[in-house]
């Protein structure tokens, strides 16, 4: 197990844009051993499997994927590709700034909501007619990236990407993969989930998170149980546990350093927390990943 590498966004299709497309095979070839080992990125990755079967590891869960499957990888998630001779697919990589910059508040809200909802759960399968529609969106992005750069290209690509995300969200919602309620209730639940993931190191209380979301503690408890089947306290703990696992597989950092970085006053408190959820110590977990 080596140090966890973080890949920075590197333009491929068009050097002037913070978005690119590439096939599975080419990504593995260009990335070499780096992408076959656990790593992070500072950008979003959309993966569409178009042929064959393969596997992909995301945050320590190995997914079996096959033609028609789609999933999204968020910045900071630990993941790894598995080589496969008979599988192929399309990857779209983009930075959050690219998607949201210069957009009005309504578009920013829609795109942020789409990213958050699509990121919940592992992956889902597209039916044939859905795949055909999504493929048309992808082709429009690819064709625009192959064209000569001008002052309108960035706006055009942003709109194409936004349409792709909203199209995927419509499919996922229509298949019943997502929430039981719409409107503000869904937005509050999504906002909390996003905050819990991003601010887990701060170890905020449920009341503090509820205040940030803009609802009462009681309302937050009701919404998380309804939408996620979990209490907000458990979701906060799960986010902290996942981040601790991500950090522990990096051998360049000591358990003591990690415990303080995660907001624990003493390393022993971190060990107790970790053992409570995993039945092993941080050191044992680290050795199990070697």
CATH number for the domain that contains residue 151:
2.60.120.280
The encoded tokens of residue 51 equal 């042929």
How far apart are the C-alpha atoms of 54 and 47, rounded to whole Å?
12
Let me know whether 199 and 168 are in one domain: no
How far apart are the C-alpha atoms of 120 and 229, rounded to whole Å?
13
Domain-located, residue 113 = yes
Tell me if 71 sits within 8 A of 122, measured CB to CB: yes
Let me know whether 71 and 167 are in one domain: yes
Let me know whether 271 and 201 are in one domain: yes
Let me know whether 9 and 110 are in one domain: yes
Task: Determine what percent of the chain is predicted with pLDDT higher than 90.
Answer: 58
Identify the pLDDT of residue 176.
Answer: 56
Residue with tokens 């789409």: 114
Give pLDDT tens digits for 48-58. 999 999 899 99
Let me know whether 202 and 267 are in one domain: yes
How far apart are the C-alpha atoms of 285 and 167, rounded to whole Å?
39
- The CATH number covering residue 246 comes to 1.10.10.60
Identify the pLDDT of residue 158.
Answer: 94
Domain-located, residue 179 = no
User: Is it the case that residue 235 has pLDDT exceeding 50?
Assistant: yes
Residue where a domain stops, chosen among 132, 156, 174 = 174
Residue where a domain stops, chosen among 143, 174, 205 = 174
Let me know whether 109 and 26 are in one domain: yes
Helices 184-198 and 217-228, axial angle in degrees (round to 10): 90
Let me know whether 103 and 247 are in one domain: no
How far apart are the C-alpha atoms of 247 and 78, rounded to whole Å?
10
Q: Write down the pTM of the prediction.
A: 0.84
Let me know whether 151 and 188 are in one domain: no
Let me know whether 30 and 115 are in one domain: yes
- The total number of structural domains in the chain stands at 2
Domain-located, residue 198 = yes
Domain-located, residue 37 = yes
Tell me if 76 sits within 8 A of 198, measured CB to CB: no
Identify the pLDDT of residue 180.
Answer: 46
Let me know whether 149 and 219 are in one domain: no
Let me know whether 279 and 204 are in one domain: yes
Tell me if 79 sits within 8 A of 59, measured CB to CB: yes
More confident residue, 234 or 173: 234
User: Is it the case that residue 178 has pLDDT exceeding 60?
Assistant: no
Domain-located, residue 202 = yes
Domain-located, residue 80 = yes
Pairing of strands 39-41, 124-125: unpaired
Identify the pLDDT of residue 201.
Answer: 92
Whole-number average pLDDT of the chain: 89
How far apart are the C-alpha atoms of 224 and 189, rounded to whole Å?
6
Task: Determine what percent of the chain is predicted with pLDDT higher than 70.
Answer: 95
More confident residue, 130 or 122: 130
Let me know whether 82 and 144 are in one domain: yes
DSSP, collapsed to helix, strand or coil, labels residue 8 as coil
Structural domain containing residue 191: 184-288
Residue where a domain stops, chosen among 126, 150, 174 = 174
Give pLDDT tens digits for 8-45. 998 887 888 999 999 988 888 777 778 888 899 999 99
């Amino acid at each position: 197990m080596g140090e966890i590498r973080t890949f920075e966004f590197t333009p491929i299709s068009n050097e002037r844009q913070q978005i690119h497309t590439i096939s599975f095979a080419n990504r593995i070839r260009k990335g070499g051993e780096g992408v076959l080992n656990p790593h992070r990125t500072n950008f979003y990755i959309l993966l569409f499997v178009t042929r064959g079967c393969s596997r992909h590891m995301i945050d320590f869960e190995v997914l079996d994927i096959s033609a028609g499957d789609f999933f999204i990888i968020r910045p900071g998630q630990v993941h790894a590709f598995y080589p496969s001779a008979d599988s192929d697919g399309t990857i779209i990589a983009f930075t959050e700034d690219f998607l949201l910059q210069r957009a009005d508040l309504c578009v920013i809200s829609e795109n942020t909501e789409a990213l958050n909802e699509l990121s919940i759960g592992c992956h889902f399968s597209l039916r044939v007619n859905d795949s055909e529609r999504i493929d048309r969106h992808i082709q429009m992005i690819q064709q625009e990236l192959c064209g000569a750069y001008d002052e309108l290209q960035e706006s055009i690509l942003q709109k194409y990407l936004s349409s792709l995300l909203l199209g995927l969200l419509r499919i996922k919602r229509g298949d019943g993969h997502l929430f039981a309620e719409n409107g503000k209730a869904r937005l509050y639940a999504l906002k909390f989930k996003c905050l819990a993931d991003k601010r887990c190191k701060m170890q905020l209380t449920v009341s503090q998170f509820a205040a940030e979301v803009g609802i009462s503690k009681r309302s937050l408890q009701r919404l998380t149980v309804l939408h996620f089947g979990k209490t907000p306290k458990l979701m906060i703990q799960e986010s902290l546990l996942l981040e601790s696992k991500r950090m522990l597989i990096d051998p360049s950092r000591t358990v003591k350093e990690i415990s303080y970085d995660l907001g624990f006053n003493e390393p022993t408190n971190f060990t107790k927390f970790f053992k409570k959820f995993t039945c092993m110590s941080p050191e044992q977990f680290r050795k199990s990943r070697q």
